Amino acid sequence: MMEMEMRPCLDEFEKLLVRMNTPRVMIDNAGCVNATLVMIDSARKDGILLEAVQVLTDLNLLIKKGYVSSDGCWNMDVFHVTNLDGKKLTDDSIINCIQQSLGTIHHTRSKSIDGMTAIELTGTDRVGLLSEVFAVLSDLKCDVVESKVWTHNGRIASLIYLKDCESGCPINDSQKLESIEARLRNVLKGDNDIRSAKTSVSMAVTHTERRLHQMMFADRDYERTSVKTSGECSLAVSVQNCLEKGYSVVNIQCKDRPKLLFDVVFTLSDMQYTVFHATIDTTENGAYLEFFIRHTDGTAISSEDEKQRVTLCLKSAIERRASGGVRLELRKDDKPGLLAEVTRAFRENALNVTRAEISTTMGKAENIFYVTDAHGNHVDSKTIESVRQRIGLDYLRVKELPLAFRNNEKGENVEGGAVLLSIGSLLRRNLSNLGGLIKSYS
């Protein structure tokens, strides 16, 4: 009898827990003159900040300002966001996607390609390496569905999603996978990278760009001699302790660019630090970020060596996207061996690919390459035009970056990553707890 009487109370308590643990989201286009406000509050839970930054970044939105507070039992995040052209958000599908995605946060989710075979590569970068990698995959009848390639401090990391050319299915044959790994490892080793060249096969679903950070971090690229690119001299990172509050305070000053907050927040998380408070402010002159952090066990940074390590790791995380070079966009009907053909043209003209974003959509290849000469310098226009003539002027184009990717009135390019907008993949999340998401802020 007592059990039956208590049951309604338990039901109400469970409902309260659901309401407390479901983030409340408000999108406000009236509260700020030049940005859309995205406000999230919820009971404090690890992963809220990570998820919010990931959702906004995956939608190609710029976070111009931000305030994070998650001390005690409650969490509140406020972000000032714009589209890539620096305008407020007016597309209802984007606004609805933000509300639904952020309103169903329970833990950090992944954004990747389900069901594909993932190949991870790390090694020493060199001119023509990417051409050799894609030539091997073409020879083994592997179709590259999507890939991202980063280079930093003379190292390369790549995550490549494959399917079998003949069947169109993921590659599950163990012998073929072993052959792919062995041949790619030989390519990566070259003449001087016997110890550190690595390949691995994974069927796990992961966020591609976060995984690239993890691969570079594991490769300890932050310990290697820095290869400076244009504009990096303005990057400054400092770590101090706020003893009276028990926090370590991280301050970052650098040029603003898309995905900056993503790179910093995910690096801190992967290094096992928790962000309790943060302020993000961007202006025409740069970005200023401040984070109050602790180890996941609740302690502050305890040594100067650890402060130095955090500083180096954050600098590397910020620099990895700062690829110098000319941005080339390839749009062409996809076919077996296309990537091998295109990157061979780069290699034969002594062009080095510093970063690449490769995707296929409805049978169309939509690829972005950043290229320099063999010494990391800008490529002369004659070489670029020669490569374009070979691949096709209508297919390979030199693209001017959107307004948001420029850092001054002269149009100096500082970052240009482009990720295909993927609203559909975010909307497929569990939307069963959408009731009462919009909370009035006063």
Element spanning 95, H or E: helix 92-102
Instruction: Give one DSSP letter per residue of 340-408, joined into a string.
Output: HHHHHHHHHTT-EEEEEEEEEETTEEEEEEEEE-TTSPPPPHHHHHHHHHHH-TTTEEE-PPPGGGB-S
Q: Is the pTM of this model over 0.85?
A: no
What is the bridge-based pairing of β-strands 247-254 and 396-398?
A: unpaired
Given a contact cutoff of 8 angstroms between Cβ atoms, the answer to whether 256 and 286 are in contact is yes
Domain ranges in the chain are 25-109+230-319, 117-208+323-399
Q: How would residue 435 be classed by pLDDT, with cut points 50, 70 and 90?
A: very low
- The CA distance from 279 to 366, in Å, is 36
- Element housing 331 (H / E): strand 326-333
Q: How confident is the model at residue 106 (pLDDT cuts 50, 70, 90)?
A: very low
Average pLDDT over every residue of 293-309: 94
If you average pLDDT over residues 306-331, what whole number do you get?
93
pLDDT tens digit sequence for 367-393: 999 999 999 898 999 999 999 999 999
- Return d(Cα 306, Cα 301) in angstroms, integer: 7
pLDDT tens per residue, range 398-408: 985 544 444 43
Average pLDDT, the chain: 83
Question: Coil, strand or helix: which one is 239?
Answer: strand
The pLDDT of residue 324 is 74
- CATH-assigned architecture of domain 117-208+323-399: 2-Layer Sandwich (3.30)
- Evaluate whether 149 touches 371 at the Cβ level (below 8 Å): no
Per-residue pLDDT at 417 exceeds 80: no
pLDDT of residue 359: 95
DSSP structure string for 118-182: EEEEEEE--TTHHHHHHHHHHHTTEEEEEEEEEEETTEEEEEEEEEETTT-S----HHHHHHHHH
Interhelix angle 260-270/208-218, rounded to 10 degrees, is 50
What residue has token string 């509300």? 99
pLDDT digits (tens, 9 = 90+) for 195-234: 567 888 876 667 899 999 999 999 999 997 665 554 455 8
CA R_g for the chain: 23
Query: Is 329:399 a contact under the CB 8 Å cutoff?
Result: yes
